[in-house]
Amino acid sequence: MTLSVCLIVKNEEQVLRRCLSCAAKFADEIIVADTGSNDGTVEIAKEFTDKVYYFSWCDDFSAARNFAFEKANCDLVMWLDADDVITDENCEKIVRLKENFENYDMAVLPYAAAFDNGEPTFVYDRERIFRRSGNYRFSGAVHEAVTPRGRILRSDAVIYHKKIKPSEPLRNLRILQKQIAEGKPLDERQKFYYGRELFFNGMLRESCAVLEDFLNGNGWSVNKVEACLNLYSAYSSLGDEKNALVSLLRSFTFAPPQSQACCILGGYFFNKGDLATAIYWYRQALYAPSEEENGGFVNKDYCGFIPNMQLCVIYDRLGDIERANSYNTAAGKIKPHNENYLYNKKYFESKLGLRGNIDE
């Protein structure tokens, strides 16, 4: 099957060639919708495709993406951002995906958005490739998404989101507040992201009000778990320990305990001096189910590295050096170049009388 890769861009001359060089390895057609660039973006796009169009920006990312989709002519359509990167291995996976798409309507691919020494630490699934005849469309002025439907293929072809410049400050918040001011109601997903935008921009009390309202609605359970974590941080910053803890525990009513929530609880009891309970929650973090397959945000550090390092600290404090070392070793297998792990390794070599082979 043939594949159209669609992008919306504005002033992306620093990253666009990098992205389109990847897309050219599997795309049968590249569509670029420019929303008002005044740098070399359009010229770079024309190096890869003659299908470059102008879209008059209207504060609506969905409208722009849908415009690009409407220009596509292939059997399948795929969206990318200009600062996305795809390794050769993952490009090959997408080629094979095209060849085996006959029995599917859309494909979901992992999106890696944060990294440590080049390794993804923050990953979540995104709806990525669609059968064009299915007339899939984005919704939401910001944090736009396509509602999943039909026969869904889950692929392990990872897209790496590697930004080199910050987004426009307050852009998303401004767009959402403009929508509210115009009397356009926010759907549940947009309400969730509005609460998060308020939180990330330091408007903590407003964020708490919006996210509490979202939790009482019919939103997606994965987003409700994330909202609870945001509320925990917001209430904690406001000095409201009671509501912070209530919000964190409330996340367990929407899904099984996730690693990040377990680590936060571990830290809460550690700071209270209750090491036994802290151990319990850090251990739970190591075995908690991942939300990655459900489309939830997954900070991989909370799934392994952080709980192992914290258990190392606790057992060292309890005087159980060998067990502390074993947890440090486990953390080192995840991040062998981490400074804290390496410092601990030398410390345990000294304590246990070992040299050079402590991890064996």
> For residue 296, what pLDDT is reported?
67
List the beta bridge partners of residue 5: 30, 78
Lookup result for tokens 């102008």: 54
* Whether the predicted model's global pTM rises above the 0.85 cut: yes
Secondary structure of 179-203 in the HEC alphabet? HHHCCCCCCHHHHHHHHHHHHHCCC
Each of the 360 residues of the chain gets a pLDDT tens digit; together they read: 999 999 999 999 999 999 999 999 999 999 999 999 999 999 999 999 999 999 999 999 999 999 999 999 999 999 999 999 999 999 999 999 999 999 999 999 999 998 988 888 889 999 999 999 999 999 999 999 999 999 999 999 999 999 998 888 899 999 999 999 999 999 999 999 999 999 999 999 999 999 999 999 999 999 999 999 999 999 999 999 999 999 999 999 999 999 999 999 999 999 999 999 999 999 999 998 765 555 567 889 999 999 999 999 999 999 999 999 999 999 999 999 999 999 999 999 998 875 445 555
Q: Contact at 8 Å (CB) between 138 and 66?
A: yes
Q: Contact at 8 Å (CB) between 77 and 132?
A: yes
Q: Is 19 exposed, middle or buried, given 0-12, 13-18 or 19+ CB atoms closer than 10 A?
A: buried
Query: For residues 190 and 180, what is the distance between their CA atoms, to the nearest angstrom?
Result: 11
